[in-house]
Structure 1
Amino acid sequence: MSISVAGRPIPQPSSLSDLCRLVLAFVDGGQEWLAWALASPSARYDFDDETMLVSQVQQGLHASAWTLLPTLSLMVSPVKLMTLGLADLRVLARAEGGDASTVTASQKQRVLADHGLLVQSDLAAVDTWLAGLGVGGAAVCQAMSLNDRVAVGELMRGSLPDSTVSGDAATEAEAAAFAVQQARTPSEFVDYMRFYQALAAQPDATSLGAQGRHDRAVQRMQALLPCFFGALDCPQVTGLPSPGAVAQAVSAWLTTGRRIGFARLSEGLQQLVMHTAYRDEAGAAAQRIVDLYLASAQSFLASARVRHGRMGQDGATCLYPLEVGQQQAQLQLGANGVISLRSYGLVPARPATPPPPSAAATDVLQMETQS
């Protein structure tokens, strides 16, 4: 027998932390594997840390990064479970073990909400919502992953930090119809729907009518998308980096004079229309607006430091919120290790007034654009 974690021999289960043992108990067959490995004279396993141990046991036993908690109807990566903390993990363990008391039920809902965990009923609500918008059978929605459903669920609830646009049911249906016409992936569906909603929320949109709003959205999309071809380069890391490693990668990238771009064209498109006063500029004028917006974002990223992140339910993606003065952004670590700009704009108005940003940043984000 030979199991080691970070070079430290593990002669018995109690040599692992309480957190690791509890997460391993959520992995079907995890505890049994550990007992077998400790007793097998020919087994040898070396793990960089306990997170890698639970991750690789899950992958090795089930050929999947996801573990299923059937009582909770929760599918989640053991890596994500390792971030919950022992107290919250014990709450889920009691609920998964059949404790149906009012106290445990209330605590369970708090833990799920605090850590952004969606159970089967949450994900099913996404399908119901899409069907209500008349796009449930759209081709782009036919093979959504759990991460796709999480993203559409955020759109449905308006839970993103910069979700300041809203509209009536008719406008929402217009946005969905536009999004399924333009999108080729579920992530793009989210982007295009938010793009359309942002345009529909502008003061003159009501007088245009449905066809006018659609035509204007197409016009602005066609004018802006080519401007983001140069805004897709991003740094890439391996493994699951710490916030400090992400900050270092971002700093090193910016130091070379390169920009941290978006994960896809449509993401840049919707962020621009949500956070600037872009109207109908095209060609060089539109490119100038995009460049100003991106330059302001890079200046902000150079002054803000990544300090913490929120891991996705998949245990591979992570969001890092940044805020300085009246500016905020989110960096996203993708499952492929790419660090991209997910959002950038001004902080929504709050009762307490924070220190003002630089005049240059305010000019860019609140600019009244001219041809």
Structure 2
Amino acid sequence: MKPMFKKTALTLALTTALTINTPVWADLNAADYAPSPDETLDLKLNDGSIAKTCTFADMSTSAFNKYVNALCSAAIVIGYSESGKRVYKPDQFATLAELLKVVHFTNNYDDTVARCVATKNSANWYQCHLDFAKTQGVWDSGSLVYPNGSPLRGEAMRYATKLYFGQSFVKPLDAANFLAQRGIINPQSNEAGYRLFDKITRGEMAKIAVHAAAVAGKKVPYGIVDYPPAAAADIPTSTVPTTATGSTLGQQIVNKAKTQVGSKKSPWVDRINTYCLRFVRMMFSKPATYPSAFGLCQAFQNAGKLRVGPVAGGAVCYSKSAGNKNQGHIAIATGTGTEIGVTSLAYGVTEKPVMSQGYYMGTISPEDFVTYYPR
């Protein structure tokens, strides 16, 4: 395999350390390795619990279920927790802030992450979306002052045609016909049929966004929260059949991980953090349960499921250290002495030698990862 980076003093030192098996933790670039301090932060509901699935109590009979499920699996929407039930409220009017967030993420996920990562968990998370919308020339400046206002269906359609397809329409009816011609919405004969001056609901918002993104060929990382939609998964490319056993399952995991080597974008890396735990669990199509790699590895260790040898497709665990900002580290073992994981803001997903001494805790076999993964 050709190296993806130039040799530097750091990489030469790392090579030397590996040759003599010095028990130290190191990365391709220790200075820019910044593990997320809480991998589940984006998935916390209003009651503080973590969204581990995309099952909503009020969506099973909704015509918008598959679209909402898709957005949820990409961690774009996660719903609410009310009276102990997870709900989405598909018939509730969407706010302008909600609509902009959904359209922006499904149109260009990586760009939106880069623009909004600094404020994504702050009280003014919506400001980056309002600022970007102002540059698109669709919304009048007055409406963008009210992020909690409810946009009209016609306005949403005009914005969708501009972002997903680069088409600008002054009249909402022209935008609606454009979307209808592409099968994104049902064709109607006039403005009244399209209900262009009705407020758009959260369910309608989800359908237009997911369907338009698919037709326009946009890349959305489905599977961050729950299993990705069977017919629309970009990352990972497919779910792992839990019926596979032994070397079959392990090799499936390795093959899947290898397709991501060299990827320097979200959901593995943003401008602030790397997400090694997210990478590993998504290779197995598992939901977020622990905020750090060390937390998950320790859970398997306590259950007696941390093996010594890095078997193919297994999850290689490292304990806390200064090199991983005391978050621990986890990667996928290839079975040939290397591991694939997220180790650098600059290099993203990399393949490098397993460090079997020092902070190495052990390896979770692929079968145990599937069977005993905490829910």
TM range (shorter): under 0.3
Using the size of structure 2 for normalisation, the TM-score is 0.25
Higher RCO (Cα < 8 Å, 6 or more apart): 2
Greater share of helix: 1
Using the size of structure 1 for normalisation, the TM-score is 0.25
